[in-house]
A and B are shown apart, each in its own frame.
Chain A
Amino acid sequence: MNKKNRGNSFKMLLQQPILSLCILMIFVLLIVFILFPLVNVFRLAFTSNEGSFDLSNFISIALNSNYQYTFLNSIKLGLVVAVVAAAVGYLFAFSVTRTEMPGKKFFRMMATFPIITPPFVLSLSFIFLFGRQGLITKGLFGITTANIYGMHSLIAVQAISFFPVAFLTLTGILESIDDSVEDAAYNMGASRWHIFRTVTLPLSFPGIISAMLLVFIQSMEDFSNPVILAGSYSTLAVDAYRLVTGMFDMRGGAILAIILLMPTLLAFTLQKYWINKKSFVTVTGKPTQKRRKLDEPHIIWPLFALCALISAFLILLYGIVLIGAFVNVWGVDFAFTLDHFKQISIMGWAPLQNSVTIAVISAPITGIFGILIAYLTIRQKFIGRRFMEFSSILTFAIPGTVLGIGYTFTFNYPPLMLTGTALILVIAFVFRNIPVSIESGQTTLLQIDPSIESASAILGADSGTTFRRITLPLLRQPFYSGLVYAFVRAMTAVSSVIFLISPKWNLATARILSLFESSQYSNAAAFILVMMGAILIAIVVISIVVNIFLTPGYIKQAGRMEKNARKINQASAKRR
């Protein structure tokens, strides 16, 4: 850009003090709460006790065959889960977007449900089903020596936990492929299978890779499943935690954290900058009319059977936890009892209250902050815009373990001594969950005609007023999804939280983890159920609140008109 040009933009920015202040404030926050802790993890890993640069610790861990084994374990697990989850995700996404099979709404729900459920729930039901006292292993086959712990269980549990990520990515991609392309191939005499192989699949290929990379990141940073089910199959996130909390080796933890960070960062960069550019989504802008989707029986029924089978398995998994919460001792005494709920009402009430409090505080901050950053990075021009965009969504690639270690190390000392406070938890949740708010906000903003905001500006509104009165109301949908996501993630986070909780601010997920560690599985089941209840209630409350405060009048009015029209129709039908 021309120098003079820049000078002029800068002058213009100076005339909008609130905007400039906002940008400056966000930069400060991003640096202090994302980059600084991250840099500190590196500093910790690469310095000796005296504070001078020192690679010896890093090298000794890197050369340690145990940790090499752990690293390979994590990568292997990540790759296998990525493939399995993407395959299942594609099956659901294709069935829901491309066919006329019955029960699509139900399958869509089943394919997103695992996102909002608490951690541990799937691991727990695996123990209930396949463990030593397992309903299937012992109850059905009489096996008492079943080993549930290890890679095979991890693959299954993680694939189920993370296939919704692949599903959501792939539905987006498949929906944006113009189906007239497929019609054209059909017209030329290609069979459905041939079309799928030569048109649909290649067009969705970037989406598949993108989904696999996202699942890979999730699997790598997953803590809650391996900590329960891994057995002797060690993974990086769990080993880092054990080093820090078990052996008080912060430096070793930091080094493992960096080893964990590298592949996730690489996957994230690939996903963000390479795959996204490669995608050849066919957007024409012309509204194509709704087309007839696949309805040949020999195509939809096999797909339906597969989806139904997987859904049935999912229902079984969740159902088992529901039952487990109400029986005396799993596998031994199946008598109905409410004891577990009584027990957790005593020991679990405080952590649950803490979790809800912190989620309630952090979710709206995350939502507003995310929308604000989306707005600034899409609609405003300023120096460092790309830097703001990158650093703010960076946390998606930073495993919770890394962030947790960075936060503990950074905020243990003045001037920002936050360790042990609720504030550090709120801050950690805000910055960890913000990428989803930002990205959904950006997507919506790109679809809103920028001249709507220009119109507000030219009528005399400054950037702040325009944002408040025009942009924000139009961004209601991404704001809502960002809010729900932030709330659920704050309630269910484990990997970052375990480093940041304190006796005063213990959280529900950490409490559930300790129940597992003392093998109180039925109590854990009851606790998980209560959490699920809390999350579902919260989602309903959030959607009601957002509807009341942010529904634009035109939707309300349209709704009213629709109702009136229906009334009139009914009345006229009666008269007839």
Chain B
Amino acid sequence: MEKVNFSEFSKYSSRVRLNGLTKQFASLDKDGKENIAVNNINVEVNDGEMVTLLGPSGCGKTTTLRMISGFENPTRGSIYIGDRDVTTVPPNKRNISMVFQSYALFPHLTIYENVAYGLKIKRLGKEEVKQRTDAAMLLMQLNGMETRYPNQLSGGQQQRVALARAIIIEPRVLLFDEPLSNLDAKLRETMRDELRALQKRLGITSLYVTHDQSEAMAISDKVIIMKDGDIMQMGSPKEVYEYPSNRFVANFIGKTNFLPCIYGGQGNGGAVVKINDLRYELPQPGDVNQLKPGQECALSIRPESIHLSSHNEDQGVPGIIKRITYFGVKIEYEVESGDGTTTMVEIYNPILNESFSEGDRVFMVFDRECARVLV
């Protein structure tokens, strides 16, 4: 069998650009305000990139995806794929593909017919349809299942069929609408890695919608975090995790503690902050340009950047252990400090570290490099 070259997607530019994209739904509120689902967002997805739209439900990520696919009309703004303005082009003429949350396999067609559907719509010759379908089925390890029906397949297999069906038409852009949310946890990880490997290998420009931050981190070149229709931050997984630009992102990507503090300007060893009269110098505080000395702000410290000690060292913050949860890979402590705030602390590799009991007095010591100052 002749191999079909699947890596020819990048023949044309398939950059996706969203310019001032806005979606207002007819008002459902009593005050008569228009319900803004997506608010004037600008996004650029480069050729072959995998970009994730991440956010809690109702943040506008799915609406954005549906506008790119053409199932929803933007109220304002435009959508470009390559150099073509597709804002008013119907879905079937955009030359994009989508993997749906429910897979949306055609229940009355066989697996083969499902996969071949897009090619048959294009009225390609019988030989070509067969050749390309066979190749796609082989690629997705679906060979041997040609005559089965979707309801006879397992969840993972159905997922593969949905993928095969989506890539076979060689779309300029591939959209994913929470495709893994129907799989159980173990399978989700396997499929996630498979999906990313496939996307890289084929070099398809992809947009991926999810509310699962670990999934987003694992597969994306770039993560876009949304909330209430606005983009909160855009960047590589590393950037958004290590340098969150606001409290929402810091808390949504991973977990974090916010310690109330006062900004004290620039010192010799970096930005200066004060917590309860203790003075800390932070070498990498993030973006502090907008802060004025004396202003109240928050210190974001992730639970894994703190360790506990029974005696005061390195300006530790004192507290009492309120709750302990044992996970095996780590221990989670909830520590209450004098002013009543609780702080989460995660200690990995519990066997090698000193362990504490509920009620113990401890000092929380944190790495200066890992602390960020947020407004």
Binding site for B on A (CB under 8 A): 1-2, 4-5, 8-9, 11-12, 15-16, 449, 451-452, 454-462, 465, 470, 473-474, 552-554, 557
A–B complex contacts, Cβ < 8 Å, 12 sampled: A1-B26, A2-B75, A5-B24, A8-B88, A9-B73, A12-B89, A458-B91, A458-B96, A458-B98, A459-B97, A553-B108, A554-B107
Chain B residue nearest in CB terms to A16: B90
Q: Interface size class for chain B?
A: 35 or more
Task: Report the Cα distance A482→B106, complex, angstroms.
Answer: 23
Q: Give the residue name and chain of the A residue nearest to B69 (CB).
A: A458
Q: Given A2-B24, A8-B88, A454-B69, output 8 extra A-B contacts at Cβ < 8 Å.
A: A1-B26, A4-B76, A457-B90, A458-B96, A459-B97, A459-B169, A460-B118, A552-B108
The docked-state distance in angstroms from the alpha carbon of A557 to that of B149 is 9
Query: Contacts of A462 on B, CB cut-off 8 Å?
Result: 90, 92
Closest CB pairs A-B (n = 7): A552-B108, A459-B118, A554-B149, A451-B104, A8-B73, A455-B104, A11-B88
Across the interface, name the chain A residue whose C-beta is closest to B177: A451
In the complex formed, the residue of B with least CB distance to A13 is B90
- Chain A residue numbers with a CB within 8 Å of B69 are 454, 458
The interface residues of chain A, by DSSP majority, are classed as helix
A15 with B90, Cβ < 8 A, contacts A4-B76, A553-B110 known: yes
Which residue of the partner chain B has the closest CB to A4? B75
| Interface residues of B, Cβ cutoff 8 Å to A | 24, 26, 34, 69-71, 73-76, 87-98, 100-102, 104-110, 117-118, 121-122, 149-152, 165-166, 169, 177
Minimum CB–CB distance for B231 against chain A, Å: 22
Specify which of A16, A459, A474 is in contact with B165 (CB 8 Å cutoff). A459
The reply to whether B106 and A454 form a contact with Cβ atoms under 8 Å apart is no
Candidates B76, B98, B118, B122; contact of A454 at CB < 8 Å: B98
**Residue among B34, B94, B106 having the largest count of chain A Cβ atoms under 10 Å:** B106
Q: Classify the interface of chain B: helix, strand, loop or mixed.
A: loop
B101 → chain A closest CB, angstroms: 7
Task: Check A5 against B73 for contact (C-beta < 8 Å).
Answer: yes
The verdict on A15 contacting B88 (CB below 8 Å), with A454-B104, A458-B69 known, is: yes
**Can you name the residue of chain B whose Cβ is closest to the Cβ of A453?**
B104
Known: A465-B121, A557-B149. A449 touches B89 (CB 8 A): no
Q: Report B211 CB to chain A, min CB distance, Å.
A: 17
- Candidate in A12, A16, A458 with the most chain B CB atoms within 10 angstroms: A458
Residue on B with the closest CB to A454? B71
In contact, B107 and A458 (Cβ under 8 angstroms)? no
Pick from A8, A11, A449, A454: contact of B91, CB below 8 A.
A454
Structural contact, B169 and A460, CB atoms closer than 8 A: yes
Nearest-neighbour CB distance to chain A for B173, whole angstroms, equals: 10
Q: Is the CB of B26 within 8 A of A458?
A: no
Which residues on the A side are within 8 Å of B87 (C-beta)?
8
Known contacts being A15-B88, A451-B101, A554-B151, is A459 close to B108, with CB within 8 Å?
A: no
Distance (whole angstroms) from the CB of B171 to the closest CB of chain A: 8
Q: Give the distance in Å from the alpha carbon of A12 to the alpha carbon of B69 in the complex.
A: 13
C-alpha gap A553/B104 in the complex (Å): 17
Cα A8 to Cα B77 in complex, Å, equals 11
CA gap between A148 and B107 in the complex, in Å: 56
Whether the pair A554, B88 counts as a contact (CB closer than 8 A) is: no
Query: In the complex, how many angstroms separate the beta carbon of B45 from the nearest chain A beta carbon?
Result: 17
CB distance from B222 to the nearest CB of A (A): 23
Q: Give complex CA distance A119, B252 in Å.
A: 68
Contact B149 A458 (CB under 8 A): no
Q: Is the CB of A455 within 8 A of B100?
A: yes
Minimum distance in angstroms from B229 CB to a CB of chain A: 15
